[in-house]
Chain A
Amino acid sequence: MNSAEVRLQALSKHYHRVAAVDDVSLTIEPGSMVALLGPSGCGKTTCLRMIAGLVSPSSGDILVNSERITRVPVHKRNIGMLFQNYALFPHMTVSENIAFGLDMRGIGKADAVKRVGHALDLVRLADFGGRFPSQLSGGQQQRVALARALVIEPAVLLLDEPLGALDKGLRESMQVELRALQRRLGVTTVMVTHDQDEALTMADRIVVMRDGRLEQVGTATEIYQRPASKFVATFLGASNLFNGTVERRNGGETLVTTGAGLSLSVDGVAADARDVVVSVRPEAVVVNRLNGSSPPQNVPNTIVAEIEQVIYRGFISHYYLKLQDGQELIAYQQNQTRDVAAAYAQGEKVIVRWDRSSNHVIAKD
């Protein structure tokens, strides 16, 4: 399958002067899988439907392999799309569903039969061609929809919340399966999801959207470890955010202090910055007993906190803590022995600290 490059150029969509998608520019590498991630109403679905041609943009352009398709009608775009509820044609058998796109392309019967068989093999449903969609489980229906979208050898595959209707276990195995298939075929894929796990699992690159605009674009690691904004930091996983003031600079290292008397040693603060936001991921925070010792003074990235609640989650525990000034802090810690989590009493004072490499300065709000 030939991989296509998809480019969005200053793409916008307005509904009654409200911008659903606002000036989005994005290049999607051939053969890669990109996830548009964001809360509902962030414009990700509108973006996808514009690529499909189901929604026409108010301004901007869509290019596939440098060819402008902005005004090309849907049925001439050669796009495979997976819908949230599968959208299988209920009055057609599985084979007829898959053959529909081939039929529309005027492909001969013998050739079509061969290709349908191949597509059924691809999604491991070889024996199901004669059944009707209503006789299949959710996962099987999803596979039929996938076969139907892939059999036409689309330039681009679009997935609209593809696994949203499946239950958790099936969803996870389908994520892996879909990803493997996509890699194998090398078809350029854009998916829309509000599920961060799905985006992290499946996508080469994640595009975080908010209020119709791009918030951050990057690999899963980039987005998770170096969120560009408070929004990204809290939307993708949880984050502890500290508002602080720059205290002193020492070469590349900067010391930031917060209201609770916490001092943070950070890298990468702009030279003229005074007030900064620092994010720390909960799994970086280490909780320890005081054991009667006096709390440490002036040690960076270390502070005394009070246990609010400990929630046992199997292999990890979630610690809900409170600092002296009332700021809340979350820590995720792997459970080492059976009784650690239970041993902390509510209101107990503990020492929390983390490595300075876990401090990440957020550039914008």
Chain B
Amino acid sequence: MNRRLSGPGAWILYFITALLMVFILAPLAVVVAMSVSDSYFVSFPPQGFTLKWYGKILQDRDFLAALQLSGLLAFSTTMGSLLLGIPAAIALTRGRFPGQDLLKGLVLSPLIFPALVTGLALMQLLSAMGSGDARINLLIGHIVVTSPYVIRAVVTSLLLVDYNLEDAARTLGANRLKTFWRITLPQIAPGVAAGALFAFMVSFDNYPVTMWLANSEYSPVPLVLMRQLVNVFDPSVPAMSTVIIILAVVGVLILERLVGLRRAAAM
């Protein structure tokens, strides 16, 4: 497994990998470059260098409010989808009940259905139920969208946990809750962390569902960004985008520190 690559095959592989990295990272680099452009319109390549757009957005109340809302929303969404997703994943892997396979498919369905449709349906449902608070609606909508990521990641890591470990803990005197807390959870920690990161990021930059559920009072970052884009397309838009990129990178680094990205990525 640990064999090093060598020969011409390796060089072709390195080349393809490098190409792929460029493909993924180049657009992000363009955004970052545009955000420091010293002009009133977005342009690439950037003209001059300035950080004034960052200064501008950091004084923009709308953006700061959106950032705060999105952060809080993403955090609550992550917690909510962990609380729902981990027990669901346990039931799907450890339990044995009729319709289990069907349920497995259904649980992952928000990954398959267009988010736009999910959002529309949620808006209809929530307004029919008379739920008028946009923050609650956003939270519910985001949990619906993100919990499949958590369930997927946790199911995958649960399948790798030897159930004999749980049996052993129980024979040693641990009840089911203690067994989960002391034995199972440490084993699936990388999967939980990966699921949490996905949930956070998906919630943070979700547009299609958010669009239906937000209102003028509570608008998360993606909506503010979009509105700004439509009104004045100045370099403050790429500056906002850069802030989001930085947040994402920080999130990944924290995950790397906590559980090791390689283990999390394997989930």
On whether the two chains bind one another, the answer is yes
Chain A contact residues, CB within 8 Å of chain B: 52-54, 73-81, 83-85, 87-91, 100-101, 104-105, 145, 148-149, 152, 158
- B164 near A148 (CB under 8 angstroms)? no
Is B182 an interface residue, CB under 8 A from the partner?
A: yes
CB distance from A112 to the nearest CB of B (A): 13
When A75-B175, A100-B182 are in contact, do A81 and B168 touch as well, CB less than 8 Å?
yes
CB distance from A190 to the nearest CB of B (A): 13
- A75 near B174 (CB under 8 angstroms)? yes
Query: Which residues in window 126-165 of B have CB below 8 A to A?
Result: 162, 164-165
Residue of A52, A84, A89, A105 touching B171 (CB-CB under 8 A): A52
Write the chain A residue with the least CB distance to B163: A87
CA distance in complex: A85, B168 (Å): 11
Chain B contact residues, CB within 8 Å of chain A: 162, 164-165, 167-175, 178, 182-183, 186-187
- A105 near B173 (CB under 8 angstroms)? yes
Residue of B168, B178, B182, B186 touching A83 (CB-CB under 8 A): B168
Q: Point out the residues of chain A lying under 8 angstroms from B173, CB to CB.
A: 75-76, 78, 101, 104-105, 152
- B175 near A83 (CB under 8 angstroms)? no
When A85-B164, A87-B165, A89-B183 are in contact, do A104 and B174 touch as well, CB less than 8 Å?
yes
CB distance from B207 to the nearest CB of A (A): 39
Q: Point out the residues of chain A lying under 8 angstroms from B182, CB to CB.
A: 100
- B169 near A89 (CB under 8 angstroms)? yes
Q: Point out the residues of chain B lying under 8 angstroms from A73, CB to CB.
A: 175
CA distance in complex: A87, B186 (Å): 15
CA distance in complex: A117, B28 (Å): 57
When A83-B167, A85-B162, A104-B178 are in contact, do A90 and B172 touch as well, CB less than 8 Å?
no
CB distance from B175 to the nearest CB of A (A): 5
Q: Point out the residues of chain A lying under 8 angstroms from B175, CB to CB.
A: 73, 75
- B187 near A87 (CB under 8 angstroms)? no
Given contacts A79-B171, A104-B178, 11 further A-B contacts (CB under 8 A): A74-B171, A75-B170, A75-B173, A84-B164, A89-B165, A100-B172, A101-B172, A101-B173, A145-B168, A152-B173, A158-B171
CA distance in complex: A75, B173 (Å): 4
Q: How many A-B residue pairs have CB under 8 A?
A: 64
- Which one of B164, B168, B172, B187 has the greatest number of beta carbons of chain A within 10 Å? B172
Cβ-closest 3 pairs across A and B: A104-B173, A101-B172, A87-B164
Q: Point out the residues of chain B lying under 8 angstroms from A149, CB to CB.
A: 171-172
Q: Point out the residues of chain B lying under 8 angstroms from A76, CB to CB.
A: 173
Q: Point out the residues of chain B lying under 8 angstroms from A54, CB to CB.
A: 167, 170-171
Write the chain B residue with the least CB distance to A81: B171
Q: Point out the residues of chain B lying under 8 angstroms from A78, CB to CB.
A: 173
Can you list 7 A-B contacts with CB-CB less than 8 angstroms, sorted by A residue number? A52-B171, A54-B170, A73-B175, A87-B167, A88-B168, A89-B183, A100-B182
CB distance from B162 to the nearest CB of A (A): 7
CA distance in complex: A52, B186 (Å): 25
- B164 near A83 (CB under 8 angstroms)? yes
Q: Point out the residues of chain B lying under 8 angstroms from A87, CB to CB.
A: 162, 164-165, 167-168
Residue of A74, A91, A105 touching B170 (CB-CB under 8 A): A74
Q: Point out the residues of chain A lying under 8 angstroms from B169, CB to CB.
A: 89, 100
Q: Point out the residues of chain A lying under 8 angstroms from B167, CB to CB.
A: 52, 54, 74, 81, 83, 87
CA distance in complex: A148, B162 (Å): 18
CA distance in complex: A341, B182 (Å): 61
CB distance from A246 to the nearest CB of B (A): 52
CA distance in complex: A169, B167 (Å): 29
CB distance from A62 to the nearest CB of B (A): 14
CB distance from B98 to the nearest CB of A (A): 13
Residue of A81, A91, A105 touching B186 (CB-CB under 8 A): A91
CA distance in complex: A105, B171 (Å): 12
Write the chain B residue with the least CB distance to A91: B186
Q: Point out the residues of chain A lying under 8 angstroms from B172, CB to CB.
A: 75, 100-101, 104, 148-149, 152
CA distance in complex: A316, B156 (Å): 53
CA distance in complex: A80, B172 (Å): 7
Q: Point out the residues of chain B lying under 8 angstroms from A81, CB to CB.
A: 167-168, 171
CA distance in complex: A87, B163 (Å): 9
- A91 near B187 (CB under 8 angstroms)? yes
CB distance from B18 to the nearest CB of A (A): 35
CA distance in complex: A52, B165 (Å): 14
CB distance from B127 to the nearest CB of A (A): 47
Write the chain B residue with the least CB distance to A105: B173
CA distance in complex: A52, B166 (Å): 13
Write the chain A residue with the least CB distance to B164: A87
- Which one of A90, A148, A152 has the greatest number of beta carbons of chain B within 10 Å? A90
CA distance in complex: A89, B183 (Å): 7
Write the chain A residue with the least CB distance to B161: A90
